Amino acid sequence: MTSVRLVPVIDGALHNPSRFDRLATALGGALGVPCDVDHNPLAAAFAWDPERRQYYSSALLFRLAARGSTSGVRWLGVTPLDLYVPVLTFVFGEAQLGGPAAIVSWRRLEETFYGLPDNPDVLEFRLLKESLHELGHTIGLRHCDNPLCVMASTHSVELLDEKDAEYCPGCRKFLHLRVAAS
């Protein structure tokens, strides 16, 4: 991985553009590679499922990957939209294992989704962890057995909150070898 490009994935107007800038800065620091925001958003309306009232993440992922396959560049779609894959009720994100694209949603990472008061700091920390997780998959990392590793599988915000915002030593070694090779 030589760089990360964040792509806003929207269905309507772009809200809170500074969230993308803050995430780009945090990801760049955590991964040690340049990270910027692509100002050409991906329109998500085509992936809307009216029965589920959610957006099909795999379709969005396919469109993100089509943006280009420049060696080492990872495309990270970032969205406030609720995502799903057919076999699950929802997903926080999805990635192409060893591929150029991933997507994360902050919809179910927001405290307000669960009827709690808004907490932007909690949301941004969760979004960072989920972004690191999905980008790890693009590098070839699979789910980790260490429950504190950012690569641990999580299907609830409670488990996400227990994870660290970093890779365990084994995942970090794999990551550094892959980044150095690209």
Q: What are phi and psi of 134, to 5 degrees?
A: -65, -40
Q: Rounded distance, CA 124 to CA 139, Å?
A: 22
Residue 73 bridge partners (DSSP): 3
Count H helices, E strands: the chain? Answer: 5, 9
Residues serving a catalytic function are 134
Q: b/e map of 125-148 (b: 16 or more CB within 10 Å)? A: bbbbbbbbbbbbbbbebeebebee
